[in-house]
Amino acid sequence: MKQYITLLFCFFTIFSFAQDKTVHLVHGLGGDDESWSEFESIIQEECPGTKTSTFFNPSNAGLDFYSQGLRKDFKDYGINEIDIAIGHSFGGLSLRDLDNEGYFGGYMTVGTVHDGSPLADSNLDGSFDAWIDNTCKEVITEPITAMNRLNLLYIAPGLLNGFFEDLFCNKILDALRDKAEPFVGGGESVRDLIDDGYAANLPAASIPGIGIVCTTKGHPFWDLLDGGDLISLPGNMTVEVAATQVELIAKSSSRTLHILSTITFNPILKTRLRNASKEFKDSYLWMQSTEAAWNELIGAGGGVDWVEQENSNWDCDCIDINTSQPVPCTNLGSSDDIEINDIGPDFTCNPDSDCWVTTTNIIPVFGEDLPSDGLIPLNRQYLPGSIYDELVTDVSHFEQPGNQGVQNLILSKFRSQLILDNSFKISNCL
């Protein structure tokens, strides 16, 4: 009798796995029913006869609204409690919201912010907008304003304004704001995603779930901007390369303007050159801090300690007595042959003079950053209550549904022989 029961149990187990399962693919982060289209075709090739479904629901209207739309989609399609659901980003949160309602027997979340989004908090407290606005101000507006005050190089401001402002303010930053809309827009989703919002307080998975967590290989900020259809630059140039070029231009401009200021006698022009040099220096220093600042906004920063740093600078203009020509004060050579402007011939350049000015600056020291996919830190993507989590590297947030590594990992679960994966097994997968 026991043998018959065992055989009967095995029969029903095999039969249940042989039943037709539908794979429901759910978009997120401003996506649509085309987000998973490439993977749909792959499923049809690798798992012949397997049905798939995709739906579209606005992701900026809030998680409750999104979940209500998804419930209707599942009911209209015809639900089956053995179906499999896969959700990217915000769509993964909706699947977790519907976890125990019988619409599917197991689900996977991909790049989903299960533990709240610091970027949403950064948006609501004004940090995100302040960073966007100050980026344009520090990198472009203030250097151009300083250049406009110079009668020299009067062509440069127009060129800088036309190229750099369009590149950074109009393209990169606007594209970033548009794509990160569910995290930084005006919709209800932003409030759902904050640290103590709706999303962070969802219950743990009560049915089989797998969390697919993702990180980028390069720096998350640049990988994020280069991912998907965010922005297109000429000559297949990456955003990071373009930003590096702008940074080098700002650095060289700062140095050139500083040298010009040391050899200029006109006090008004000297002041304007120095101001322009400082603004370009602030520009490239701001750009150097971009990566660390972005990680702080998305919650992947390693923390910041502020420390004091002393700098000694020579603050006088020097004249070579023999030639009566100005020389850089940092290149003293023979101090007996150099005198200080406006102080007198008996006061020579030497390390003990009053021209050495010591200033104290407060500088940030950043700790080690956490890995992320450009928008979500790795430690916030783990699915609470999952049977296990899997990692995919070298993929930014917007690229995940079309990423081969993500797709292959999901397919491996359809073919898996592990007992834990039976809820995801599809018998006709090759």
Same domain, 8 and 77: yes
Q: State the average pLDDT over residues 49-58.
A: 91
Boundary-marking domain end, from 366, 381, 414: 366
Same domain, 226 and 201: no
One-letter amino acid of 96: R
For residue 430, being part of any structural domain is answered with no
Beta bridge partners of 210: 108, 388
Phi, psi angle pair for 406, to nearest 5° = -65, -45
**What range does the domain containing 12 cover?**
2-116+197-216+372-424
Same domain, 283 and 255: yes
Same domain, 252 and 377: no
Boundary-marking domain end, from 366, 392, 415: 366
CA distance linking residue 24 with residue 353, whole number of Å: 77
Strands 388-392 vs 209-214: parallel, antiparallel or unpaired: parallel
The CB density around residue 116, as the number of other CB atoms within 10 Å, is 20
Choose between 264 and 357: higher pLDDT.
264
So what's the pLDDT on residue 203?
Answer: 94
Same domain, 179 and 240: yes
CA distance linking residue 187 with residue 120, whole number of Å: 11
Question: Which of 205-219, 232-246, 260-274 is most confident?
Answer: 205-219
Same domain, 178 and 289: yes
Same domain, 146 and 110: no
For residue 429, being part of any structural domain is answered with no
One-letter amino acid of 333: G
For residue 406, being part of any structural domain is answered with yes
Q: How confident is the model at residue 166 (pLDDT cuts 50, 70, 90)?
A: low
Choose between 52 and 9: higher pLDDT.
52
CA distance linking residue 363 with residue 308, whole number of Å: 6
Beta bridge partners of 400: none
Count of the separate structural domains present in the chain: 3
For residue 293, being part of any structural domain is answered with yes
Is pLDDT of 334 > 50? no
Q: State the average pLDDT over residues 18-27.
A: 84
CA distance linking residue 243 with residue 238, whole number of Å: 9
One-letter amino acid of 65: F
CA distance linking residue 313 with residue 354, whole number of Å: 11
So what's the pLDDT on residue 235?
Answer: 65
Is pLDDT of 371 > 80? yes
DSSP 60: S
Same domain, 55 and 78: yes
For residue 417, being part of any structural domain is answered with yes
For residue 347, being part of any structural domain is answered with yes
Q: State the burial class of residue 239 (Cβ atoms within 10 Å of its Cβ: 0-12, 13-18, 19+).
A: buried
Q: State the average pLDDT over residues 272-291.
A: 88
Same domain, 33 and 21: yes
Same domain, 332 and 380: no
For the chain, the distance separating the N- and C-terminal CA atoms, rounded to the nearest angstrom, is 36
For residue 82, being part of any structural domain is answered with yes
Q: Where are the beta strands (DSSP E) in 289-425?
A: 304-314, 318-320, 325-327, 338-340, 344-348, 356-366, 388-392
One-letter amino acid of 315: D
Boundary-marking domain end, from 250, 274, 303: 303
For residue 112, being part of any structural domain is answered with yes
Residue 399: CATH number of its domain: 3.40.50.1820
Same domain, 322 and 234: no
Same domain, 10 and 105: yes
So what's the pLDDT on residue 224?
Answer: 81
Digit-coded pLDDT (tens) for 39-52: 999 999 999 999 99
